[in-house]
Structure formats: C-alpha cells, structure tokens
Amino acid sequence: MYICEKMCTFARFFREQVKKNSFIHRISKDLVQWMPVVGFDGQVIIVDRPEQVHDAVAYLRSRSVLGVDTEARPSFTRGVHYPTALVQIASEERCYLFRLTHIGMPQELCDLFADPAICKVGLAFKDDLNGLRRRHDFKPANCVDIQSICGKYGILDLGLQKIFAICFGKKISKAQQLTNWENSHLTPEQARYASTDAWATLLIYKELMATEPLPKKEAEALRRADLERQQAHQQEVQAQKEAEKAEKDK
C-alpha cells in the first residue's frame, strides 16, 4: 500500500524531543464552533502556466516535509464526479496552488510525489492521490495519511477541522469547500481556504511527531471502547425508531 507511515527527516529529528501526550480523544462540533478561527497567512502562489511549474517544484523540493490537499468541482448529482482541479502543496511559509485544469499534471509534480526523500502529508490521502494519478500516473512514495496515525495518539476524530481543534484549540474555516474550483479565476477566499487545508495538515503532522504516542495496547483498547460505544448508540437509536413506529401503528 502506497500510503505509508514512514518517518521522515523531521520525525526522526524530534523522536527524542517529544512532549507528553495530552490530546483529548474526541471533540464536539459545538465546542469547535466557539474556537478562534485561524488560517494560512503565508505566501500563496497560484501556478496556472506550465512555465511556472519548475520554480514551484524546486522550492518544494527544498523542504523535507510538505502538507498536501486537493480540490475538485463539487458534484450534486449521484454518480457524477469531476477530475481533480487543484492540488495545493504547503510549507509553513508558502503554499503553491497548482491549477490542474490549466496545466494538467506535470511530470515534475509526479516526480515530487514519487520521491521517497520528501515526506508528503495529507488527510484521506489515498483518495487525493488516486485523483491525481487519474490525470497522470505515478508511483507515490513517502506519503503519510494523517487519519492512519491519529489513533496512535488517542485522537479518534478523523475530520481535518476536528483534528486541528484537538491539536491546537483553534478552528479552520470550511466555508469555501463547495465552491467551483474550475472557475477561470480563483477568488482570494478560495485561495486562502485551499492553502489553509494543506498548511493545517502539515501543522498537525508536525505536532503529532513532536508528541509521545500512546502505548500500543492503550491505543488499541481506546479504539475498541470507542467502537463499542458507537455500536451501542446506534442500537439505542434503532430501538427508539422501532418503538416510535410501533406506537404509530397502534
């Protein structure tokens, strides 16, 4: 499986400088809504011409770990899916927005995702990579899915906004999620939203790598207990629905 958990240079550096794990396991949506909103405030560079690709990739190759996200035109029709329109790749200071509807999937970008020396971090990363590979096939290497490692730290929520809130006590906005990413021009709001998602994924990964994971047995017990609670809740909801239906049928 190409979504690996390989420790990158950053992770190895911090292995002996980890801090104590104090993450909560889950967080409510209501609590997240009260948190202060943050977003990426670094340099955003839109790449929509082929001649811009080389310099963008050269900068990204100078970093050992990168945050990645993708966007596609939203579909409101069952069974209809649109190709990946945008891939955003971020360091802590700079985020490049590659407009694939304008430039396709350049070979230099494919080579970046295939480079085992550079750690690429995403959330639900397999779906993002598959979308990119449908544009131009490549073999991903050193690609880490945040969702695959959060459980080691006792974090059971899997959405980006909630994971970020658990790690930092702040909220990232999802307001631009369903906008049209194939528009001829990206709005400033779209560009900031897209950059924030890639940047947030990078920050989460670095925070996890700088934190002590739970003992394996404790993490597994936590996941089992959470699954049992969810199943019990589903059974309660189903029983209530059946009781209400029986009452109406009397």
Higher pLDDT, 213 or 177: 213
For β-strands 171-172 and 37-38, DSSP reports them as parallel
Q: Residue 71 has what pLDDT? A: 93
Contacts of 121 (CB under 8 A, 6+ apart): 65, 66, 67, 68, 143, 144, 146, 201, 202, 205
Residue 166's closest CA among 22, 57, 9, 18? 22
| Beta strands per DSSP E along the chain | 37-38, 43-47, 65-72, 84-90, 94-99, 119-122, 143-145, 171-172
Q: Which residues pair with 95 in a beta bridge?
A: 44, 90
Report the distance separating Cα 65 and Cα 133, nearest Å. Answer: 21
197 with 160: CB under 8 angstroms? yes
For β-strands 84-90 and 143-145, DSSP reports them as unpaired
Report the distance separating Cα 99 and Cα 188, nearest Å. Answer: 14
64 with 202: CB under 8 angstroms? no
What confidence tier does 244 reach under pLDDT thresholds 50, 70, 90? confident
Q: Give the model confidence (pLDDT) of 122-137 as tens digits.
A: 999 999 999 999 999 9
Q: Residue 227 has what pLDDT? A: 86
Q: Which long-range contacts (CB under 8 A, 24 or more apart) does 222-226 make?
A: 222/25, 222/151, 222/154, 222/156, 223/151, 223/156, 226/25, 226/26, 226/156
Q: Which sequence spans correspond to the domains of the chain?
A: 9-214, 215-250
Q: Give the model confidence (pLDDT) of 64-81 as tens digits.
A: 999 999 999 877 677 778
Higher pLDDT, 76 or 35: 35
For residue 209, pLDDT over 90 is answered with yes
pTM, 2 dp: 0.86
Report the distance separating Cα 193 and Cα 97, nearest Å. Answer: 11
What confidence tier does 235 reach under pLDDT thresholds 50, 70, 90? confident
156 with 223: CB under 8 angstroms? yes
| 3 state SS of 177 | coil
Residue whose tokens read 């509807």:
101
For residue 243, pLDDT over 90 is answered with no
Residue 151's closest CA among 211, 202, 200, 216? 216
Q: Residue 5 has what pLDDT? A: 46
Mean residue pLDDT across the chain: 89
Selecting from 3.30.420.10, 3.40.50.620, 3.40.50.300, 3.10.180.10, what CATH number does the domain 9-214 have? 3.30.420.10
